[in-house]
Amino acid sequence: MILTVTLNTALDITYQVPRLRAHTSHRVTEVTERPGGKGLNVARVLAALGHPTVVTGFAGGVTGAVLRERLAELGGGVTDALVPIAGATRRTVGVVDSTSGDTTQLNEPGPLVTTPEWSAFLGAYAELLREASAVALCGSLPPGVPVGTYAQLIREAHAAGVPTLLDTSGEPLRRGIAARPDIVKPNADELAGLTGSTEPLRAARDARRRGARAVAASLGAKGMLAVTAEGAWRAAPPRRLAGNPTGAGDAAVAGLLSGLVEGAPWPDRLARAVALSAAAVRAPVAGEFDRGTYDELRGRIEITEDPAA
């Protein structure tokens, strides 16, 4: 199974409005409620691809209970191994403008995690690693969790012989990358914040020097860049797709992880990740992707090797 870690889970609420305008009231035409947080989104895409996945992290309070109920409603493919806490799981609210397709996102802070709750998670994580074929460490850290947490979890996974993918930002990324994760998946802004360089290839090479064994950087509508020990490649979709970009990066992570556990070569992993990311833009909520778009694009992703790397 593939293990995804989401320490700052969320109950994702998406509102559809005909047109979003500032300083006025809106009539909501549709509301959806889903278990959220980056790792949970990744897990749902992996399950749709046929990979059994276990999700862990924290869930608490009324919103945490609703999140777990929604997770159970998804059916097979995703197993709930979330650790209960006293604090209430946060909510995220996405407001989708149906006319333009643009999304405005409002993210609450996470709950405070106590020292006993953190110890309980570490024990659960060690047990889950015994059966994991890969682990994804995703998203922000809630209050009370040490900033070097991802570095610690990467080292524990490597000691258990489990490859890791890290998808976070800021200081948790900076510290986590020093623990030598197998793959780091930043977006262009996160990569620039880590390295100080706005040129993606140079920044990705710098990130590898800082410890990442491979860097797969999301470049938005331009696709994805991978810099690895075997070489460097860029992957781009054949056209730009309009829709909701929330969750597109998480779908890309699922593509990279599924390719990793299947032993696919890097160009194939990139093509899958970019096709899934584009297909996620066409889905109404994060954690889903449009199957028709994915099937159409997966054989049409343009892959170029970068000899300069």
Residues with a known catalytic role: 250
* Of 14, 90, 94, 93, residue with least CA distance to 58: 90
Mapping DSSP to helix (H, G, I), strand (E, B) and coil, where does residue 203 land? helix
Dihedral pair phi/psi, residue 134, rounded to 5°: -165, 160
* Residue 226 near residue 215 (C-beta atoms within 8 A): yes
Residue 123: is it exposed, middle or buried by C-beta count within 10 angstroms (0-12/13-18/19+)?
exposed
Site of tokens 């696919």: 264
Structure tokens belonging to residue 132: 């994991």
Partners of 112 in beta bridges = none
Please state, in angstroms and rounded to a whole number, the distance separating the CA atoms of residues 248 and 287. 8
Mapping DSSP to helix (H, G, I), strand (E, B) and coil, where does residue 109 land? coil
Partners of 93 in beta bridges = 13, 106
Residue 96, H or E segment: strand 90-97
Partners of 10 in beta bridges = 36, 90
* Of 55, 18, 207, residue with least CA distance to 132: 55
Contacts of 15-24 spanning 24+ positions with Cβ under 8 A = 15/93, 15/94, 15/95, 15/96, 16/96, 16/98, 16/284, 17/95, 17/96, 17/97, 17/98, 18/97, 18/98, 18/99, 19/97, 19/98, 19/99, 19/100, 20/95, 20/97, 20/102, 20/104
